[in-house]
């Protein structure tokens, strides 16, 4: 039996070299394709947002022949800038997938880096799938190992490791160079949690894209011979001492089981802990009389401890002025679902953010940390919403939101989400053709022809 490596970075490098498409069960390959489809749908949905336009302008300054595609365009740039531009679009709506553990995360954020480096390396579809499975495995395992949030760091910090490792995999770096890539990226790119505190800025959607940019850049530096600080995790001033605190690292099996199977696709465009709250509010509204808003006295939301901390406790959540704050505000999300009886992208537009009736309704919301929901957190993701109107109280509890294990979204629902987000930018025939290619991703010999199908015509 091969002796255990001396450092976590060496263990990760060996795992990255060992993981191979041949060992993936069919359901894992299918789930990767579902995640790519979902993530590109989110990128199209966020493509015309202001942060995405800013990121594309930065990428447009640099052209690289046979480089990486800036999604939605014909422009090719360096892989790090493509990862940043595309990652910003993918994350803007906060509609891509989620993993819940000691540290929650959006592991599909890694796909921006995977696509960019796969193009540069001229990897095929199977190579892309390998890199995505690897990134999910590493980021989710790090989220299992230690919570960054209580120590003031943002979850995207783990992305500097996962994107560096997936990049090293696609670039076929040696074990030694992969360790250097992890050392460079892990030392230099630790993100402050201030990104998700108080009034949320555009950077909320760009923070992981920046981690991806830096992970890709680190791997490219290592490829050319740059060495990095080591040991990045266990060192005297390393990651465990300064950022995460000590943790035990498991010995990973390249034959699985694979963490991507434990991640969740979002049914609603809101922070994941609010998914079941939306469904509870919508279910509750169907039971209430049409004039219940006129008689409404209060709205109570009971939620797990971690949900209370992230989206239900900060005073700014009761006064959102930006989309970024609103989709991370449990009071706003529940109030707008009750008011409109539906939940989609329009519920976060400027008209809603400025609506005085909605603002008044939000002030009637009270959020409570609930021991029962906290105790089952991870096995369930529950919320209970209750209202008192006209002296009468009604309540709804949802434990398994749509998209959660035990209540997964179907492929048909996923395609509907793709069409809904892509249709403002692309003809239905193009969307259908693109989806058909993505469902056959493992057969593709190159990624550039697939990405070129999603070129957006007209003004960007």
Kindly state the tokens that stand for 181.
């890539």
On the question of pLDDT at 1 being above 60, the answer is no
On the question of pLDDT at 17 being above 80, the answer is yes
Position 397 scores a pLDDT of 97
Position 460 scores a pLDDT of 60
What is the phi-psi region of residue 458: left when phi exceeds 0, alpha when psi lies from -120 to 50, beta otherwise? left
- Whole-angstrom distance, CA of residue 420 vs CA of residue 435: 13
pLDDT per residue as tens digits for the range 286-295: 988 888 888 8
- Show Cβ contacts of residue 321 under 8 Å, excluding neighbours closer than 6 positions: 199, 353
Query: Could you tell me the pTM of the whole model?
Result: 0.93
Cβ 280 vs Cβ 48: under 8 Å: no
For 76, the 3-state DSSP assignment is strand
On the question of pLDDT at 263 being above 60, the answer is yes
365-369 and 296-303 strand pairing: parallel
Locate tokens 């579902």: which residue? 34
Mean pLDDT over 277-299 rounds to 92
Mean pLDDT over 246-266 rounds to 95
Distances 450 to 21, 129, 359, 411 between C-alpha atoms, Å: 20, 14, 44, 20
- Range(s) within the chain of domains with CATH label 3.30.1330.120: 272-398
On the question of pLDDT at 229 being above 80, the answer is yes
pLDDT per residue as tens digits for the range 95-122: 999 999 999 999 999 999 999 999 999 9
Mean pLDDT over 419-427 rounds to 97
Kindly state the tokens that stand for 420.
């809904």
Mean pLDDT over 36-64 rounds to 97
Position 3 scores a pLDDT of 54
- Range(s) within the chain of domains with CATH label 1.10.4100.10: 8-262
Position 6 scores a pLDDT of 83
Position 2 scores a pLDDT of 53
Position 4 scores a pLDDT of 57
The model's confidence at residue 391, banded by pLDDT at 50, 70 and 90, is: confident
The model's confidence at residue 198, banded by pLDDT at 50, 70 and 90, is: confident
Position 80 scores a pLDDT of 98
Kindly state the tokens that stand for 244.
């995460």
Q: What average pLDDT does the structure give for the chain? A: 95
- Whole-angstrom distance, CA of residue 109 vs CA of residue 207: 10
Q: Extract the runs of DSSP E, i.e. beta strands, from 273-341.
A: 296-303
pLDDT per residue as tens digits for the range 160-197: 999 999 999 999 999 999 999 999 999 999 999 999 98
- Whole-angstrom distance, CA of residue 107 vs CA of residue 131: 12
CATH annotation of 272-398: 3.30.1330.120
Query: Could you tell me which of 12, 166, 190 has the C-alpha nearest to residue 79?
Result: 166
- Whole-angstrom distance, CA of residue 430 vs CA of residue 428: 5
The model's confidence at residue 390, banded by pLDDT at 50, 70 and 90, is: confident
Superfamily classification of domain 8-262: 2-methylcitrate dehydratase PrpD (1.10.4100.10)
- Whole-angstrom distance, CA of residue 224 vs CA of residue 226: 6
On the question of pLDDT at 31 being above 80, the answer is yes
């Amino acid at each position: 039996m091969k002796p255990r490596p001396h450092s976590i970075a060496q263990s990760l490098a060996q795992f990255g070299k060992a993981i191979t498409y041949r060992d993936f069960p069919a359901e894992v390959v299918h789930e990767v394709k579902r995640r790519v489809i979902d993530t590109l749908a989110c990128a199209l949905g966020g493509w015309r947002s202001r942060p995405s336009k800013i990121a594309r302008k930065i990428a447009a300054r640099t052209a690289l022949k046979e480089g990486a595609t800036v999604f939605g365009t014909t422009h090719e740039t360096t892989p790090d800038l493509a990862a940043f531009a595309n990652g910003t679009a993918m994350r803007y709506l906060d509609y891509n997938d989620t993993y819940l553990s000691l540290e929650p995360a959006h592991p599909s954020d890694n796909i921006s880096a995977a696509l960019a480096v796969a193009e540069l390396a001229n990897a095929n579809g199977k190579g892309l799938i390998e890199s995505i499975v690897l990134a999910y495995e590493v980021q989710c395992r790090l989220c299992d190992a230690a919570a960054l949030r209580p120590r003031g760091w943002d979850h995207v910090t783990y992305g500097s490791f996962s994107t560096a490792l997936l990049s090293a995999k696609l670039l076929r770096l040696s074990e030694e160079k992969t360790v250097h890539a992890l050392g460079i990226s892990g030392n230099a790119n630790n993100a402050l949690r201030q990104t998700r505190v108080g009034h949320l800025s555009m950077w909320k959607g760009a923070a992981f894209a920046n981690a991806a940019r830096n992970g890709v850049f680190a791997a490219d530096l290592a490829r050319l011979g740059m060495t990095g600080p080591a040991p990045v995790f266990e060192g005297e001033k390393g990651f465990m001492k300064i950022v995460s605190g000590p943790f035990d690292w498991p010995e990973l099996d390249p034959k699985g089981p694979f963490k991507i199977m434990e991640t969740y696709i979002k049914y609603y465009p809101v922070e994941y802990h609010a998914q079941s709250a939306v469904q509870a509010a919508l279910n509750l509204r169907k039971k209430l009389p049409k004039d219940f808003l006129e008689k409404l006295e209060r709205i109570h939301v009971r939620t797990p401890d971690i949900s209370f901390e992230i989206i239900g406790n900060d005073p700014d959540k009761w006064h959102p002025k930006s989309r970024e704050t609103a989709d991370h505000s449990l009071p706003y999300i529940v109030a707008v679902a009750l008011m409109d009886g539906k939940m989609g992208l329009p519920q976060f537009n400027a008209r809603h953010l400025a609506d005085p009736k909605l603002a008044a309704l939000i002030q009637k919301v009270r959020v409570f940390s609930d021991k029962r929901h906290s105790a089952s957190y991870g096995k369930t993701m529950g919320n209970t919403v209750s209202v008192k109107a006209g002296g009468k109280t009604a309540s709804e509890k949802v434990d398994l939101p749509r998209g959660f294990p035990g209540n997964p979204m179907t492929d048909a629902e996923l395609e509907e989400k793709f069409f809904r987000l892509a249709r403002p930018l692309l003809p239905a025939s193009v969307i259908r053709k693109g989806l058909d290619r993505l469902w056959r991703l493992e057969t593709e010999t190159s990624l550039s022809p697939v990405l070129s199908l999603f070129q957006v015509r007209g003004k960007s």
